Amino acid sequence: MSVMGTEVERTDGDLPSGPDDDLRTLEEAYAELRDETQQLINERTTLEAEMRTLRKRIERLDENVNLLKMPPLIVGHLQDILDHERAIVRSSNGTVFQVSLNQRLDPDALKPGTRVALNQDSLSVVEVLTEAWDPMVSGAEMVEKPS
């Protein structure tokens, strides 16, 4: 005989569980959470690696955009080197200018007659160019000594 109100009635049909059942349930829940945590850590690692790859790609694309936005450079020839900061150049249209030299350029490459690229706005020398190949000149070059 039981006293009224001392027992909780179960309406879900479950049998009363003991401490062993509770422990097993908690261990299963813990294992599920541990597996889910590991899966989330793996996803995070994958996403971080993908983000690094995408950031590098963004940097490369930004560099390409900046290069495309740059105004074209003017081609000229060094006439004379005044000092390590200044030179006289003749632009492609024949005008002669005193201009500044980019300090990052190799001073040994800067010699009179060298083809250079000039900034369109400041006309400063920004790049040393390779010698041009002119088809008219190469057609007039002597390949063999005439006999």
- The helix/strand count (H/E) of the chain reads as 2, 5
Q: CA–CA separation, 94 vs 132, rounded Å?
A: 17
CA proximity to 86, closest of 74, 97, 76: 97
Residue ranges of domains in the chain: 18-70, 74-128
For 20-57, write each residue's pLDDT tens digit. Answer: 888 999 999 999 999 999 999 999 999 999 999 999 99
pTM (two decimals): 0.47
Q: Which CATH superfamily is domain 74-128 in?
A: Nucleic acid-binding proteins (2.40.50.140)
Q: Kindly tell me the sign of the dihedral angle through the C-alpha atoms of 138, 96, 87, 79.
A: positive
